Chains A and B, each alone.
Chain A
C-alpha cells in the first residue's frame, strides 16, 4: 500500500473515534460541539504518559481515556442541566476553555539531553514512543483500525442491548423515559463520560501518530467536522459516523479534484444532507430496512 493511502486511512481511523463519540451523544439526544476538547485531553495525557513519564503506550491510552472521561463528566455535570442548543453552546465553551488551558500549560522535563513536554502555544514536541520503537506506518494503521474495530463492535453490541435501547429512549423522549423509571441525568452523564473517553482515545493515538501536538489542533474546526461526520453518516448505526469520515476524507481527499475548495464542497454537502436526510445517510429507517432484508 502506498504511503499516501496509509496516511489517509490512518486519518479516517483517528477521526472515526471522535466522530463515534459525537454519535454516542447524538443518540442520547445531545448535540456537542466540544468533543475536540476531550480529544485534546487524551492527546496531552497520553503524550505526558509515554514521552515524559516513560510509560508504555497501553498505559498511556488507558490514562488518556480515564482523563477524557473525568474531564467530560466534569463538563457534563453542569452542562446537562441545559437543553438543546444551550447544551451545545456549553460544550463549545468548555472545549475553548480546554484549548486555552493547553495554551497556558507549561511543563517540561529534560530527557536524554532534550527538553520534552507541553510548552503552551509552542506545542508539545517529542511524543515519539511509536516512532522510536520502529513502528512502520502500516503497523500503526493496523493498530488504529484494530482498536477502532474493538470500539465499533462494543458500540454495536451496546446498541442491541437493553442499555442501548434505554440510551436511545432518553434521546427520543427524556420525559417519557423518566416517567418509566430511568434516571435520565445519571445515564446521560455516563454517556457524556463514555463519549469523552472515546474522543480521548482518538486523541491519544493522534498524538503518537503525529509526534507533535499543539492547542490549535483542538479548535472549533475539528468540533464542527466531528459533528458533521456523525450527522452525514447517519444516526441509525455506529457505522454511520465512520461513513461520514470516509466520505469526507476518503472521497474528497482521494479524488483531489476539489483541492482548496474542499471545505466549501464539504459545507455544501452537509447543508444538502441535512435538508434531504436530517438524520444522515444511514438513518434509523435505512438500518431497519437493511436488517429486515437479512
Chain B
C-alpha cells in the first residue's frame, strides 16, 4: 500500500529547505572514464562538515538513459571537503547530482564536461543560440 501513501504526496503541505553551495574538482584516473573528485560544500560561505553525501550523474541529452550508480563521498581532513570516485559511461556533458543529508539537507545539480583531461564546468551563453 506504499503507492497509496505515495499518492498522498500530491496533496502534502509545508516546505523546508536548507540551501548549500558546491564546487567540484575532478581528475581523470587514467582508466576509462573513472574520475577522482573533490567536493567543497559550503553554506552562506562557511564550510559544512559531517554531511552524508551521495553523488550520482545523468546525461542531459539522454535523460534517465545513463544512470550512474550513486556513490558515497568521504570527508577529508579539510573542513567542508569530501572525496568520491565517479565511474561514468562515456565522455561528454554530465549533470552531477549531489544529495546532501545530515546537518544540511539539499539536492544540488552541477553541470560538468568530462573528458580525458578531467572535468570543467559547462558554460553556456545566457542568450539562446542562433541556428
A residues touching B (Cβ–Cβ < 8 Å)? 3-4, 7-8, 11, 14-15, 56-58, 61, 100, 103-104, 114, 119-122, 125, 128-135, 138-147, 149, 206, 210-212, 214, 216-217, 219, 221-222, 225, 248-249, 253, 256, 259-260, 262
Interface of chain B, main secondary structure: loop
- Contact status of A140 and B6, CB under 8 A, knowing A121-B129, A259-B89, A262-B89: yes
What is the distance, in angstroms, from B65's C-beta to the closest C-beta of chain A? 7
A210 to B99, CA, bound (A): 11
Give per-residue flags for B49-61: 1 if the beta carbon is below 8 A from chain A beta carbons, else 0.
Answer: 0000010101011
A139 proximity list for chain B (CB < 8 A): 2, 5-6, 9
What is the distance, in angstroms, from A144's C-beta to the closest C-beta of chain B? 8
* In contact, B64 and A128 (Cβ under 8 angstroms): no
Shortest beta-carbon contacts, A-B, top 7: A142-B6, A146-B3, A143-B6, A11-B64, A132-B15, A58-B10, A142-B2
A121 proximity list for chain B (CB < 8 A): 124-126, 128-129
Partner of A7, one of B2, B67, B89: B67
B residues touching A (Cβ–Cβ < 8 Å)? 2-7, 9-17, 19, 32-33, 54, 56, 58, 60-67, 69-70, 89-90, 95, 105, 107, 109, 124-129, 131
- Contact status of A61 and B10, CB under 8 A, knowing A4-B70, A8-B67, A253-B67: yes
B4 proximity list for chain A (CB < 8 A): 146
- Contact status of A221 and B61, CB under 8 A, knowing A7-B67, A262-B89: yes
Given contacts A133-B14, A143-B7, 20 further A-B contacts (CB under 8 A): A11-B67, A58-B11, A103-B128, A121-B124, A121-B129, A128-B15, A129-B15, A132-B17, A133-B12, A134-B16, A142-B6, A143-B3, A211-B107, A217-B61, A221-B62, A249-B67, A256-B69, A259-B89, A260-B32, A262-B89
